[in-house]
A and B are shown apart, each in its own frame.
Chain A
Amino acid sequence: EAQVTQNPRYLITVTGKKLTVTCSQNMNHEYMSWYRQDPGLGLRQIYYSMNVEVTDKGDVPEGYKVSRKEKRNFPLILESPSPNQTSLYFCASSPSFGGGSLVETQYFGPGTRLLVL
């Protein structure tokens, strides 16, 4: 089954304690991306990756890091989390940017709800 998995699904942590949210896809997709969702602000892109070892900043990259060492994995790293990073995070993948051709689509993970105290 085609899917994007994220772990953990829920996380409570304290300010400054490094954490990693994993994202994995089983569709051999080249494009992967991280978003955060906050009430009234919609979705905002954090980082994206066009392929292995190719990453770039989205709209709100401050305080986050990513890596893409393998095609299937795209972890999101918060080196020193702060309360303003409390949010709902989504990972997504697609054959290429925008879901590829018109018949291809983008797949989203189930989300990770993070609370930073």
Chain B
Amino acid sequence: GQQVMQIPQYQHVQEGEDFTTYCNSSTTLSNIQWYKQRPGGHPVFLIQLVKSGEVKKQKRLTFQFGEAKKNSSLHITATQTTDVGTYFCAGNAGGTSYGKLTFGQGTILTVHP
């Protein structure tokens, strides 16, 4: 079945440093979604990427979808303590599985003030 690998598992940064998490799917995706989960909380939708090579920005967050629609990345510029949490990518294979998301393992981000 479809697998979504996400690295790194953990990332510790000093406030102000940049952060990147990478996501790779074993199969071509219809779209990829990114979520943030704060400690003790539930996943909150951040963004969805659909087009090959798509790049979207949300303030300090930059999301990219690879040309082959199998990989994606989330980059945070100048991290802040409020960025702490686990970032998950989730791939949508489309077709008969449309709507079903396969989540990556998540990257736990810790930001030291």
B and A form one assembly: no
